[in-house]
Each structure stands twice: as C-alpha cells, then as structure tokens.
C-alpha cells in the first residue's frame, strides 16, 4: 500500500515519470525499506528544498504505519548511468 502510494506520488512529481521505479524490501515483520529510483534530474524534486518534500512524504506514510503496524524508511536514489 505505501509503496504504491509513493510510486504514484513520484510519477506525478518527476519530469521523466517513465524512469521512476519503486522497490520495497521487507527487513523484518515490522520494518520495510522503500527505495525510489528516479532520473538524476528528478531526485532533487523528490527530496525538495531543505528536504521538505521527502519529510511531507514520510509524514503521510506514517499513517500507513498506524494501519499496517509497520515502520518504513524511504530512500531516494538516481539511476546509474
């Protein structure tokens, strides 16, 4: 649920939505890491000025934590070229 939301959000923000990829790795029963891989030019947009965009995204995802009883870490990476 959280990874699908992040994918939709990232494709709306990115200049190159076709290059956006989201991977979810379940570390254990209560913790997951969600990695957003985007074009190098879009990573700044996803992080935002002073990290405000990613902070807002983390706040929204904290609602999923309450529903799913799972914590999330969000990582933004660029495509290796």
Tell the burial category of 58 from Cβ atoms under 10 Å away from its Cβ (0-12, 13-18, 19+): middle
What is the reported pTM? 0.85
User: CATH no. for residue 29?
Assistant: 3.30.300.20
pLDDT tens-digit profile of 32-79? 999 999 999 898 898 888 989 888 888 888 887 777 788 889 999 998
Q: Which domain holds residue 60?
A: 2-78
Q: In DSSP terms, which residues pair with 22 in a beta bridge?
A: 36
Would you give the DSSP letter of residue 15? S
> Measured between alpha carbons, how far is residue 43 from residues 52, 57, 77, 79 in Å?
13, 14, 7, 10
Q: How many domains does the chain have?
A: 1
Asked if 13 contacts 42 with a C-beta cutoff of 8 angstroms, the reply is yes
């Amino acid at each position: 649920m959280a990874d699908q939301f992040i994918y939709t959000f990232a494709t709306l923000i990115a200049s190159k939505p076709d290059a956006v990829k989201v991977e979810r790795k379940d570390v254990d029963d209560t913790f997951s890491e969600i990695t957003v891989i985007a074009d190098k030019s879009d990573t700044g947009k996803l992080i935002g000025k002073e990290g405000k965009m990613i902070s807002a995204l983390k706040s929204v995802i904290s609602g999923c934590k309450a529903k799913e009883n799972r914590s999330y870490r969000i990582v933004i990476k660029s495509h290796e070229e």
